[in-house]
Amino acid sequence: MSSSRYPVYFVLPAIALYIIFFIIPSISGIAYSFTDWSSYSDEINYVGWQNFQKIFSPSERYLTYIWNTLVFTGLTIVLKTVFGLGLALLLNEGVRRFVNLYRVLIYLPAILPTLVVALIFRSILNPATGLLNNVLRFVGLDALALRWLVDPHIAMLSVVAVDTWKGIGYIMVILLAGLQTIPRDYYEAAQIDGANAWSRFRYITLPLLMPAIMVVTVLNVLYGLRVFDIVYALTNGGPGYATEVISTEIFKAFSKGQYGLGTAVSSILFVILLVAGYFVIRLLERDRNKEEAS
């Protein structure tokens, strides 16, 4: 037997496990999304596109859940990337003393359990007894003491802020690793040529950091579209439907025994993930190719 075939035999078990635990459940889920499968009946009947028509019906709220998911994803991508990059630049160049301590402190929220973070911030953001509003009232800024998780107009922004605080350290670590791979010779040569800090960032740091930015963007997109735990623990989708997202609705549909409808919503989420991941990767690769060509 040729030794070149050995790697194939090592890969086959992984392929088999992938098919059993991912491909087959995915196909089964898509198939069940065309049925009325529920806990209220032992029969499973084919209903065609009825579940999807209900989801995209203007009279239902599923389009609101999809919109909330997209809003959460877009805001967290921008905030985590911008603040994560700022912190990475600061720790890479601006801070010299206790830099390792600062890295640990910034990264610490990323390893905290989501439930713990949610419980802490539910207490901090409590409109009546929360630490944030009490501090604002103490310093005379009563107008800024808002109903952070209760007001439908700002509840999503509050959830985004908490999630950004928790995840910014993880993004910072990835971008900091990317910054440390950029040779210092480029910056020294640019300084000799008279380039200022902005020019060095624009023409050296940003283009060479694009692979790391592409990684964190893809991670943020996939996380944002699948977000569940932080939303469920902080607001349970409320107040009303202000923070309801696709994953929380899938959970609630299955909790109610509406399995066919739940699999239909999860199938839509699966398609959104595939399309979003594809276009994000293509867009970032195109931008990187332009930077390299210039």
pLDDT digits (tens, 9 = 90+) for 5-57: 556 777 788 888 888 888 888 788 888 889 988 888 888 888 889 889 988 88
Q: What span, in angstroms and rounded, lies between the C-alpha atoms of 109 and 158?
A: 17
Position 169 confidence tier, pLDDT thresholds 50, 70, 90: very high
**Residue 11 within any structural domain of the chain:** no
Amino acid sitting at position 109: P
Which residue has better confidence, 100 or 267? Answer: 267
**Residue 239 within any structural domain of the chain:** yes
Mean pLDDT over the full length of the chain = 87
**Residue 43 within any structural domain of the chain:** no
Q: What span, in angstroms and rounded, lies between the C-alpha atoms of 91 and 180?
A: 11
**Residue 29 within any structural domain of the chain:** no
**Residue 138 within any structural domain of the chain:** yes
Q: What is the dihedral of CA 277, 85, 153, 233, to 10 degrees?
A: 70
**Residue 13 within any structural domain of the chain:** no
Report the CATH number that the domain containing residue 277 is assigned in CATH: 1.10.3720.10
pLDDT at residue 230 greater than cutoff 90: yes
Residue 77, domain extent:
59-293
Q: What is the model's pTM?
A: 0.87
Q: How many domains does the chain have?
A: 1
Which residue has better confidence, 294 or 250? Answer: 250
